[in-house]
Structure 1
C-alpha cells in the first residue's frame, strides 16, 4: 500500500504549498525592493533639488557675502561662525536638512548647524563645486551616508572663496518602504494572504488529483506501468479521439512494423496495412476480428477507453495468429480427410449392400460385373490424377477432395493440361494448404449452383501456378482485396463466405514471394490464381505425363 508521505518527509501537497509560499515571498520581496528603489530615487531627486535651492538662498544672502573677503586667500572675519550661525540654522529649518554649514575654499568648516564641526577640515568627496557650479549627490558625513548639496560663494571675478553645504541623512529602509505609499504595506499584506490561501487551495487540489500519491510513488507507478506494458506478449495500441497513437508496446511494434517514434503521431500517417489502419481508426467495437497482412495473420480486439465517464480513445489488443491459422488449416485438412473417409464408408456400405443383395439372389455374374465396374471407376479416378500429378501428397489431396465434393453434388475437374512434378516435402505441405483452402471455398460457393463444378489447374512450367475456378456467384471487384485481408470466425461474416482460409492462402504465397489474384472464372464464378516464382520453387525433373482423359466425380 502506498504511503502518504514522500521520502523527504513532506507530502507532495505540502512541498507544493511551501514552494508557492516561497514564490509569494520572493514576489513580495521583489515588489518591496522595487518600491524602496523608487522611493530612494524620488528622495534623491526631490530632496537634492530642494537642498540646492536652500544652499543657493544662503549663498546669495548679503550678510553671508559681506562676511567673506572679496579675494581668495584674504583674512576671514573671526566672528563669522557666530554671525552666520542664524543663517545656517534657518537653512536647516527651511529645508528640513540634517546639517547646513559654510566651508572655506581650504576645506575648513567656518559655520555649521552643528557647533562641534566648526573648525574641522572636511573633504568634499566627489563634488565639483570648486569649479564654480552647484552640485548634489551622495556623501559620507561623520560616517553616515547622506545626500549633500554644494553651492559655491564666488568673488566678483568668479573665484570660489567658500561653499554652502546642506546635507540630509538617507532615510532607513523602513522609512523608505512605508513612505512609498500609505497603503503599500496593506496591499502587500493582502497579496501575501491571498497568495497563501490560493497556494493552499491549489495544494489541496493537486493532492486530490494525484489521489494522495507522492512524487516518488507516481514515478514508481509510471515505471511499473511502462515495464508491464512492454513485457506483455500481446500487442497493445491505444489511439485517442483525434486518431493519435498514445500507447504502442513492443509486441505491437513488431506485429505492425512500427517504431517508438510513431507514438504521438497520427495513425493515418503511419506505414500500416490499409485494413489494419481502418480497423484501428473505426468507431465500432468489434471482437475477435482476424486480419491478414501480407506477412502475418493478426487476431485483434478493440474496446473503448473511458475516464470519468467520457471516452478518451480506443485500445486495441492483438496477437500473432499465423501459427494458429496454419494449425487450423491442418486441422481442416484432417477434417477433410475424415469427411472423405466417412463419405467413402457410406459409399462402400451401399456397394456392399448391393453385392450382398445380388449374392442372395444368386446373381453371381452380376456381382462380378458390378465389382469390376467399381474397380475400373476407382482406378480411372486415381490414374487420372496420379498420371498428371507426380507428387503423392497433392495427388492424394485431389482424390480425397473429389469424393468429398461428390457428396455435395459438386464435380471436381482437373484441367487436361495440368502437370506437377514431385515436390520438396516442405513445399508439398504448403501446396496442400493452398489447394485445400481454395478447393474448400470453391466447393462451398458452387454447391446448389447450376452445373456445379470446380476446375483445378496446375502448371509447373515456370515456377508454380495453381488455379481454382468455381461456378458460384463470383466476387465483385471492389471486394476482391477485402476477402484476403479480413477473416472472422464464421464465413457468413465475410463477403463471399470466405474466412481465414483465403487469408492463409495469401500469407503462404507471400512467404514464397508469390501472389494470389482473383478474376472472373469461365463458368461465371470466381477464379483464384496463385503464382509462385521459379526462384522460390525448386522442382526435380520428371518425365512429362502421358495424355489421359479428364475426369469428373459426382453423385
Structure 2
C-alpha cells in the first residue's frame, strides 16, 4: 500500500493539477475527472482495495470509489498531514484496513495534498491460506526433528537405565522409596554442595527435623555444628562417630558416594543408641562386678586354704598373725578409699578393683589429690561404668610388666568431675588415639574375644552426659585416659 500511494503521489500530472488547483477554481472543480484515471489505474495494477487523493485538510478530492469524493479521510495515527509518509492499521466503518499514506509536495516544498491506498485487513483464514505452504513445511521439519530427538533421547535413556522400560523405572523408584522409609536405621544423602538429597523417616525422627529437609542445606536444619560437620563433611569416611542430638545418643557412619568415577556427595547412616548405651552400661557394670567377685573368690579361697593348713599343723600363733595381717590390710585399703571417696558406689568399686588388680599382680594406687563427694544416682552410675572400664583396660595394658601399677585420680570442683586413670604399660600410639574409640577396635590379641567395646562405651556415656574423654601419655610412660563429666555433688567434700 505504501508503494501504491507513493506511485500516485509522484505522478507529474497529479502534482501539477493539485498545484494549479490552489489558484484556479476551474482546475479544482475538474480534478475528479482529471485525476480519476490515474487513481483507477493504480488500483487495477495493485492489490489495493481503494485509493484516493485528498486535500491537505483531509477531504477526498478523487477516489476509486466516487461515493467517497468530498468525505473526510480516516487517518488513524498517520502524520501524513505533516508531510511524512506513513503505513499502519486504520479502523473504518467497514472494518480494519492496511493503509499507506504518501504526501504530495509542490516544488516550493508546500504540502498540496496526499494519497491514500488501502486494503481490507486479511482475516485469519486468509492469512492461514497464504502461509499454508510455509506452515506445512515448518511443521514437517519440526515433526522430523522431534522424531529424531525422541529417538536419540530414548537411546540415551535406555543406555543410562540399563535397558529398563519407563514402567520398570517407576517401579524401581517406588521400591527404593519404600525401602528407604521402611528401614529403622536413618539414612541421609548429601550432595557436594551440602544439600540434602535423601532423608528417610528414621533419619528425620532421629535428628528431630521438622518439615521436609530435601533440597535444603545441612547447616540450615538447626542441627548442632558437630552433627552438621559429620553429615556434610568431605574427605575420609567416618566410622562410629558419636554425637548428641537433643536427648539422643546417635552413632553416625559416613561414606563418600560416586557415580561414573565422579564424586556426587556422601551417604550417612544414623543409629539411635540411647537405650543401648544404658543397657551396655548396666551390662558392663554387671560384668565388672562378676570379674571382681571371681577375683575376690579366688583370693579368699587361697587365704582359706592357708588358714586351713595352719589349723591342721597346729600353728595357731602363725594363724593369728596371718588373720591380723589380712584384716589390717583390708581395713587399710577400705579406710584409704572411704576417706577420699565419699560416694559409696564408687568406693565399693575401687575396693573391689583393688582385689582384682592384685590378683593380676598389678598395684592399684589412689592419687593423693583424690577427693570425691557423694554423687547423684545418675552421675554415680555413669562414673562406676566409666571407671570400671578404664581400670580394667589399664590393668590389662600393664599386667605382666615390671612392678606394674595403675593410678586413679578423682575429684570434683566447679561443677566438673575429673577422672584420670594412668598406667605404666606401653601406652597408646598417637595415630591410634582416635581409633580406640571405634567399636570393635582393640590392640589386644584376637584370641581374647569380645574386645573393642569398653572404650566406645565410655565415649558414648561421656557424650550423652555432655562430657568428654581424651587419651594422652601418663607420667609413668604408659597411657592416661581423662574423663570430664558435668556433676552436682550432693554432699560437699
Picking from 190, 193, 196, the partner of 1:239 is: 190
Conserved 8 A contact 1:48-1:147: no
Conserved 8 A contact 1:296-1:322: yes
Cα distance in structure 2, aligned partners of 1:57 and 1:479: 110
Conserved 8 A contact 2:196-2:214: yes
User: 1:258 Cα deviation (Å)?
Assistant: 8.2
User: 1:140 Cα deviation (Å)?
Assistant: 8.6
Q: Secondary structure at the match of 1:474?
A: coil
Conserved 8 A contact 2:439-2:453: yes
Deviations 1:382-421 (A, max 9, x none): 4422454154433321222122222322122234665555
User: 1:73 Cα deviation (Å)?
Assistant: 6.6
Cα distance in structure 2, aligned partners of 1:213 and 1:456: 67
Asked if residue 319 in structure 1 is aligned to residue 271 in structure 2, the reply is yes
Picking from 31, 45, 49, the partner of 2:6 is: 49
Conserved 8 A contact 1:275-1:291: no
* Structure 2 residue aligned with 1:281: 234
User: 1:253 Cα deviation (Å)?
Assistant: 6.5
* Structure 1 residue aligned with 2:138: 188
After TM superposition, the structure 1 = structure 2 runs for residues 26-37 of structure 1, keeping only pairs within 5 Å, are none
Asked if residue 467 in structure 1 is aligned to residue 417 in structure 2, the reply is no
* Structure 2 residue aligned with 1:123: 71
Conserved 8 A contact 2:4-2:42: no
User: 1:319 Cα deviation (Å)?
Assistant: 1.6
Conserved 8 A contact 1:290-1:500: no
Conserved 8 A contact 2:53-2:61: yes
After TM superposition, the structure 1 = structure 2 runs for residues 323-334 of structure 1, keeping only pairs within 5 Å, are 323-334=275-286
User: 1:455 Cα deviation (Å)?
Assistant: 2.1
Once the two structures are overlaid, the 10-residue window that deviates more, 274-283 or 243-252, is 274-283
Cα distance in structure 2, aligned partners of 1:333 and 1:424: 17
Q: Secondary structure at the match of 2:7?
A: helix
* Structure 2 residue aligned with 1:453: 405
Picking from 380, 394, 401, the partner of 1:442 is: 394
* Structure 1 residue aligned with 2:439: 488
Cα distance in structure 2, aligned partners of 1:387 and 1:129: 116
Cα distance in structure 2, aligned partners of 1:493 and 1:130: 105
Picking from 377, 381, 404, the partner of 2:330 is: 381
Where structure 1 has 5 or more consecutive residues not aligned to the other structure, the ranges are: 1-43, 542-555
Conserved 8 A contact 1:340-1:403: yes
Q: Secondary structure at the match of 1:318?
A: strand
User: 1:439 Cα deviation (Å)?
Assistant: 0.8
After TM superposition, the structure 1 = structure 2 runs for residues 386-425 of structure 1, keeping only pairs within 5 Å, are 386-389=335-338, 390-415=342-367, 418-420=370-372, 422-425=374-377
Cα distance in structure 2, aligned partners of 1:306 and 1:50: 74
Cα distance in structure 1, aligned partners of 2:195 and 2:272: 23
Q: Secondary structure at the match of 1:492?
A: coil
* Structure 1 residue aligned with 2:385: 433
Cα distance in structure 2, aligned partners of 1:439 and 1:300: 28
Q: Secondary structure at the match of 1:273?
A: helix
Deviations 1:267-293 (A, max 9, x none): 89985439973996345586xx35366
Pair 1:264–1:448, CA change in 2 (3 A): farther
User: 1:239 Cα deviation (Å)?
Assistant: 2.7
Cα distance in structure 2, aligned partners of 1:336 and 1:247: 43
* Structure 1 residue aligned with 2:314: 364
TM-score (norm 1): 0.61
Number of corresponding residues? 469
Picking from 477, 480, 485, the partner of 1:524 is: 477
Conserved 8 A contact 1:268-1:277: no
Asked if residue 169 in structure 1 is aligned to residue 119 in structure 2, the reply is yes
Q: Secondary structure at the match of 2:475?
A: coil
Conserved 8 A contact 2:468-2:484: yes
* Structure 2 residue aligned with 1:71: 24
Cα distance in structure 2, aligned partners of 1:130 and 1:383: 124
Higher RCO (C-alpha 8 Å, min separation 6): 1
* Structure 2 residue aligned with 1:34: none
Q: What is the RMSD of the two structures over their aligned residues, measured on CA atoms?
A: 5.8
Q: Secondary structure at the match of 1:536?
A: coil
Pair 1:507–1:51, CA change in 2 (3 A): same
TM-score (norm 2): 0.67
User: 1:491 Cα deviation (Å)?
Assistant: 2.2
Pair 1:257–1:357, CA change in 2 (3 A): same
User: 1:318 Cα deviation (Å)?
Assistant: 1.5
